Amino acid sequence: MKKLIIVLTVLVSSITFAQNKNEKASLEVDGVCLMCKSRIEKACFNTKGVKSAVWDVKTHELKLIYDARKTNLKTIQNSVVAVGHDTKGLKATDKAYETVHPCCKYRDTDVKDDHKEDDSHDH
């Protein structure tokens, strides 16, 4: 009987622990359109351990849920800057930035203004 209680206690503790593996975070990520959204979210999902990644075009907020045992926020940020998008804490290299589509050049004031004028701009 003692063995059964010990086994059940261990099982319940590991189930409780397993439920705490989802870390939530949000980041500010630069971008201007739905093509940017797709690229940013794809970069996140290509990072092992990311379970949810939703980037908002208007607010530039990237909401994340990830398994903290498999990845961390710094690794996810590195994935995002690697595809050419700046985060509040890290800037994409010029080489990575040059790979984004011309309509996605968020560092260019004219491109940003063009996207503000045309909210239906959903490449």
Q: Which CATH architecture has domain 21-117?
A: 2-Layer Sandwich (3.30)
Distances (CA, A) of 92 to 16, 26, 44, 116: 38, 18, 15, 23
In tens, the pLDDT along 17-52 reads: 544 489 999 999 999 999 999 999 999 999 999 999
Of the candidates 27, 81, 85, the one whose C-alpha atom is nearest the C-alpha of residue 54 is: 27
pLDDT for position 112: 84
22, β-bridge pairs: 67
In tens, the pLDDT along 78-106 reads: 999 999 999 999 999 999 999 999 999 99
